[in-house]
Structure 1
Amino acid sequence: MANPAGTSPRPVRAINFIAYGANDVLGAGSMAVISAWVLIFYTKFCGLSAGQAALIFAVARILDAFASPTIGHISDHFDRFALGRRFGRRRFFVLAAIPLLPSFALMWLPGQTFWYYLVSYVLFELTYALEVIPYETLAAEMASDFATKAKFAGVRILFAQGSAILAGFLPLWLINWLGRDSPNTFFVMGAIFAGLFMATAGFLYAFSWERQRDAQPAPTGVSPIKRLWRNLSSTLRIRAFRLHLGMYLGGYISQDIFNAAFTFFVIFALAGSTQVASGLLGTMYIVQLGAVMLAIRMALRASPAQAYRMAAVCFALGVVALIGLWWAGLPATSGWIWIGMGLVGMGRGALNYIPWATYNYMADVDEIVTGRRREGSFAGVMTFIRKATQAAAVALVGLLMDWGGFAPKAATQSDGAILTLVLVMGIGTWAMLSFGIAVSTRFRLNRATHDVLMAEIEHLRSGETEPTSPQAKAVVEDLAGWDYDQLWGRNPVGEKA
């Protein structure tokens, strides 16, 4: 199902958008479940300390952080092999991951040891990388224009928010069915999600394709490992990608910190329960779904960076409102909590969409620098940095909770433990949002600059060496971070790509 070189792009139909978007039930849905519930599951139902739980999370994410760029690099060149030519250099990995996806359910089997949870979590993280890294390249494979790529990102995030809603409400429904203290709640939840993951991965494989490219000769003279890491590190020499990563990390790590602390905050700081926390998370994700729809329109009509800043401020104000409830001594059942949850949901929805919308254009910026397309390498590096920093953030939350006196399986916590929890959720979230806002002020990729970029790529592809205009020259140099006379492979990045 490749798009033959030299022909018009295949038309992207509704079912292709849906198949692509639905796969983020795995991409975002699994992360929503894990970030919201894994620390609660390990500490409340398995008897692990917060530090042990955070260690499992950190070890798995760090191992996966090294696996992800390797998978991305391999998928960029997998069409050199018969399997890649037969099943697709990206789509082969989607197909191969399907029988491994039930590993998600095994993570949530109650009554096991620390080592069982460590191994089962590592297994799922590696399976996740095997499927999601190639998946993240497919929008750029199937589309080349700004609007279609933005629609792919929009549909993807709509499905992501839908799966996050399910991640929020499903534990509540299962608690009501299985009983408040049943550890099987999470195992049943894991099994349901594993089934969804397998179905959506198969759907994606059936209704996606890759652009066909000329045969790529196998490089010689450099060891595969050295070539791998040299290629991956060179992606960071693309200015737009570095700024994109800063915005991505600011928006997503702020959510990691919030997610890791929020359920504990509701239960212990606001005198709530697991059911109340589940309902609040589900409602927040519903608000995020509406925010994504607004963000899609803003990103298409205005600047993604401007929309990002508005969303970050909204999220930060929501956290202020939630901490204000604790300061005022109000419980989680207070009606005032919906103000905070509404602001948080509005901000998070846009922050989820915007980085993935801009990510789809990174391979275009790279192409004008290197003369090649390396979607897999960018997906791998992005996930590597994301997973490593996410592991550090969540592990830090767990370690700070231990340091603050958090007691596993305890019905109540000390004032010091609660204060530590509140400070971690507040200061950690605000700090990362501030970082993302600062980076966004330098990010200038939008619909207009992307049109200029694509026109200059065609200009250089035709054999020209001079820019079409001084304005076009300024645009592509700002996005690429290289002088115009160094573009199209005439630079060290092009030599290493």
Structure 2
Amino acid sequence: MSRKDRKVTLRTSIGFGLTDIMGGGAFTIIGAWLLFFFTTFAGLSPVQAASIIAIARIVDAVIALFVGSISDNFFKYKLGRMFGRRRFFLLIGSPLMLTYVLLWVSGMNYWYYLFTYLLFEIIAAMVLIPWETLPSEMTKDFKERTKMSTSRMFLSGTGTFLATFVPGQLIAYFGDNNANAYLINGAFFAILFAICIFISYKSSWENKLSPEEEKAILEKANENKGFGETLKAIGSVLKEFATTFKIKSFRKHLGIYLFSFTGKDVFNTVFIYFCIFALGTSSTLGANLLSLSIIGIPVTILAGFLIVKVGPANLFKIAYSIMILCLIGFYVIYLTQPSSMIVLLFIIAGIYQVGRSILEFTPWNVFPFIPDIDEIVTRQRREGLFAAVMTFARKSSVAIATMAVGLLLEFGGFVEGSATQTPEAIHTIVYTLVIGTSLLLVISMCIAFTFKLNKKTHEILVDEIDRLKNNGSKADVNPKTKEVVESLTGYAYENVWPEDPIEKGNAS
């Protein structure tokens, strides 16, 4: 059924958003615990453990690039016409989520962990990239998309909370040195992720293609391609990926997203080490501090209101400012070791989660509007392409950051499996947490000051697209609209909305 025939209700938004229980939960667990699990229960050094995550993320990033393109063109296959070019991947991804439990088997070798982690990353990309395009498929209304994004991030916050709270309780029950806590945790979440993704499949729909679009896709599918033509087609796809960076708002959005999320990942990766070795507390306390992410659930609702009122750029600034102040607070606690340390840790960690939840909420609330900016330049809908590029860049940056953390820990003298560490290793942990995370957040904030996409500018852009679609003349554009279009796209107005849609790989 076409999106014109259906409305996005709260129930629909929740059903759609359940997949981010996996998106928020799985990678929160991986970010907070996998490196620690590898260096504690798998006998791997920090560099070995980090290399598994880095290699898997890079390989997966390359594969993820093509998932978006496959999704965009999946209608030409019978399965795509039966189940949807996006939703089909949710249907098959649901049972494959059960592979998540394989990550948490202790005592295996390096190659086992590399293979199982790579497998899960690929399955997750196969689900998340098509799923991320669904808001653009289901509605063009800013408020309905905001409702979907808010529901999604509310549920992502729920997943993040569960991903920190449940492991903490299992570790407290089994003990800090018992690997069964991690295995049971993995089994619980594998089943939960599978159920959530299937519900998202049942709750969503896709925009109905016009007869002309269907005919063009099917005719292209019937073309016979030799090896040379196949290589040429791959080159064309790669060129198409490059065209996304010509959209000014997307470049800024991607920079904000990468630096801020990588900063958050550095914090999550090092925080358990910080609690155990720098503060002398337990992994259970670290998990309980991270479980204050539950504060992000009501904050997400507030952020959904604020993004309309103050705009994405101001939300970014609020999030980063809060998090940087909290990082300074953690450093002060490390230096002073006050008698009320536990209370202060809970206060600062709670405030940090306010900023963290806003950081996670905003980029993916902005993302559904990026393809609209691209449309006025190319006259195409390329949601899958933009989702694939974002995923590729994100996975690549995480791979680099994780490898950097592993190298820093190793060169700082961290000894795997040891209950005590040298002062040099402890200093490395502290400075990685505080300085590393803060630096990445400061870079993101600088970019946010120049970000122009908000509710008002988006409405002006969409109105202009509708006017041009109804045979409006570019010569009749009003000055304000022209200014907005140019500021969002980075193109001179004369060069947008060409007479014919720009061919893939040739946008300029």
TM-score range, shorter chain: over 0.9
Whether contact under 8 Å (2:68, 2:388) holds in the other structure is yes
Whether contact under 8 Å (2:265, 2:398) holds in the other structure is yes
Match of 2:250 among 233, 237, 241: 241
SS in 1 for 2:451: coil
Distance 2:499 2:420 in 1: 63
Whether contact under 8 Å (2:86, 2:131) holds in the other structure is yes
SS in 2 for 1:209: coil
- Cα 1:494–1:317 shift into 2, 3 Å: farther
Distance 1:399 1:464 in 2: 58
Match of 1:250 among 259, 265, 283: 259
Distance 2:340 2:185 in 1: 24
Match of 1:128 among 121, 124, 129: 124
Whether contact under 8 Å (2:380, 2:501) holds in the other structure is no
Kindly provide the CA deviation profile for residues 78-118 of structure 1, in whole angstroms up to 9, marking residues without a partner as x. Answer: 11111111110001111121222111100111111111000
Match of 2:20 among 19, 24, 38: 24
Whether contact under 8 Å (1:369, 1:494) holds in the other structure is no
- Cα 1:130–1:495 shift into 2, 3 Å: closer
Match of 2:72 among 65, 72, 76: 76
Distance 2:501 2:9 in 1: 39
Aligned-pair distance for 1:9? 4.5
- Cα 1:480–1:89 shift into 2, 3 Å: same
- Corresponding residue for residue 152 of structure 1: 148
Kindly provide the CA deviation profile for residues 424-459 of structure 1, in whole angstroms up to 9, marking residues without a partner as x. Answer: 111111111111111111111111001101001011
- Corresponding residue for residue 323 of structure 1: 331
SS in 2 for 1:361: helix
Whether contact under 8 Å (2:289, 2:345) holds in the other structure is no
Please tell me whether residue 443 in structure 1 is matched to residue 451 in structure 2: yes
Distance 1:21 1:212 in 2: 21
Whether contact under 8 Å (1:290, 1:346) holds in the other structure is no
Distance 2:97 2:443 in 1: 35
- Cα 1:491–1:402 shift into 2, 3 Å: farther
Match of 1:115 among 102, 111, 114: 111
Matched to 2:87, the amino acid is R
Aligned-pair distance for 1:343? 2.6
- Corresponding residue for residue 14 of structure 1: 10
Kindly provide the CA deviation profile for residues 1-54 of structure 1, in whole angstroms up to 9, marking residues without a partner as x. Answer: x317xxx34111222101111110111111101000001100111111111110
Whether contact under 8 Å (2:379, 2:501) holds in the other structure is no
Q: How does 1:64-463 map to 2 (within 5 A)?
A: 64-213=60-209, 214-215=213-214, 216-217=216-217, 218=220, 223-283=232-292, 285-330=293-338, 333-463=341-471
Whether contact under 8 Å (2:2, 2:208) holds in the other structure is yes
Whether contact under 8 Å (2:236, 2:504) holds in the other structure is no
Whether contact under 8 Å (1:44, 1:408) holds in the other structure is yes
Distance 2:451 2:117 in 1: 36
Aligned-pair distance for 1:331? 7.4
* Bigger Cα displacement from structure 2, 246-255 vs 115-124: 246-255
Matched to 1:392, the amino acid is I
* Bigger Cα displacement from structure 2, 52-61 vs 219-228: 219-228
Distance 2:360 2:332 in 1: 25
Distance 1:35 1:277 in 2: 13
Distance 1:363 1:465 in 2: 22
Distance 1:491 1:344 in 2: 49
Distance 1:490 1:26 in 2: 42
Give RMSD over aligned pairs.
1.7
- Corresponding residue for residue 495 of structure 2: 486
- Give identity over the alignment, percent: 37
Whether contact under 8 Å (1:320, 1:340) holds in the other structure is no
Matched to 1:458, the amino acid is D
Matched to 1:389, the amino acid is S
Matched to 2:181, the amino acid is T
Matched to 1:127, the amino acid is I
Matched to 1:100, the amino acid is L
Aligned-pair distance for 1:460? 1.3
- Cα 1:176–1:396 shift into 2, 3 Å: same
Aligned-pair distance for 1:344? 1.2
- Corresponding residue for residue 30 of structure 2: 34
Distance 1:490 1:34 in 2: 48
Distance 2:5 2:452 in 1: 27
Aligned-pair distance for 1:288? 2.1
- Corresponding residue for residue 480 of structure 2: 471
What is the TM-score with the length of structure 1 in the denominator? 0.96
Matched to 2:495, the amino acid is Q
Distance 1:178 1:13 in 2: 42
Distance 1:157 1:446 in 2: 18
SS in 2 for 1:335: helix
Aligned-pair distance for 1:293? 2.1
Distance 1:491 1:264 in 2: 56
Q: Mind listing any 5+ residue stretches in structure 2 that lack a counterpart?
A: 224-228
SS in 2 for 1:43: helix
Aligned-pair distance for 1:410? 0.7
Aligned-pair distance for 1:291? 2.4
Matched to 1:91, the amino acid is R
What is the TM-score with the length of structure 2 in the denominator? 0.94
Matched to 1:274, the amino acid is S
Distance 1:142 1:24 in 2: 17
Distance 2:10 2:303 in 1: 20
Whether contact under 8 Å (2:272, 2:283) holds in the other structure is yes
Distance 1:66 1:82 in 2: 26
Distance 2:503 2:484 in 1: 20
- Cα 1:139–1:245 shift into 2, 3 Å: same
Distance 1:378 1:36 in 2: 28
Whether contact under 8 Å (1:370, 1:490) holds in the other structure is no
Q: Mind listing any 5+ residue stretches in structure 1 that lack a counterpart?
A: none
Number of aligned positions between the proteins: 492
Distance 1:314 1:343 in 2: 7
